[in-house]
Amino acid sequence: MSEMRDQLKTIATEQIRKKTLAAASFRELGKAAGIKSSSVHYHFKSRDALLLELVKDYHRDFFAELKQRCDEVSSPRQRLRTLADMFCDSHANNMQCLCQAYAAGVDGLNDDHRQVVQAFFAELQQWVSDTLANARLLALPRDELAKVIVSALEGSLLLDRGEDEQQRLQATKAWLTTLSSL
């Protein structure tokens, strides 16, 4: 992979997360990287192909960071807080979740895109469910509770977008610590 190629992907991801899916145009990417849009086509055969790569990279990088951050964290409660902190950090950097941005913009997306986006959410739910494995007294089956937790985190990040205060994110974080005898 060339450096320019990686740079373009970095810029594209940032544009989408800070603005919208539509904001990552070949023209904008080229301008930000100092080349022409026609040159961007040398690196990516189409915009669809680029968008697909971005999700796959995001998926990989997200879980790499999550696992790294949880390396020394043993308690389920602390692991959930660590996950919530990743969402809070996104907000602090004025970034939405890439997959959530894709979900909101589906009509320009094909089946491949939808599939990888759902794969991200599914793995996130699985991670949360695994984290809850040793919890007792849960009001719901842990697979179901995991779906609620992921929805609440993604929803909080989206609803707090553009606001200074993290009112929903902090509420969700507080809620996570009350879930059970973790």
Partner DNA sequence: GTCTATACTCAGATAGAC
Partner DNA sequence: GTCTATCTGAGTATAGAC
Interface positions with DNA (CB under 7 A):
2, 4, 24-28, 30, 34-39, 41-43, 45-48
Residues at the contact surface with a second copy, assessed by CB under 8 A? 18-20, 22-23, 96, 100-101, 103-108, 114, 118, 121, 139-140, 144-145, 147-148, 150-156, 158-159, 161-163, 167-168, 171-172, 174-175, 178
Q: Smallest distance, Å, CB 42 to a second copy?
A: 27
Distances (CA, A) of 112 to 51, 63, 66, 133: 10, 20, 25, 31
Question: Which residues, listed in sequence order, are joined to residue 136 by a DSSP beta bridge?
Answer: 181
Nearer to DNA (CB atom), residue 41 or residue 77: 41
Q: How far apart, in whole angstroms, are the C-alpha atoms of residue 37 and residue 30?
A: 5
Nearer to a second copy (CB atom), residue 27 or residue 108: 108
150, 66 contact by CB (below 8 A)? no
Q: Smallest distance, Å, CB 144 to DNA?
A: 39
Nearer to DNA (CB atom), residue 41 or residue 81: 41
161, 92 contact by CB (below 8 A)? no
123, 59 contact by CB (below 8 A)? yes
In the chain, the amino acid numbered 57 is D
Q: Smallest distance, Å, CB 180 to a second copy?
A: 10
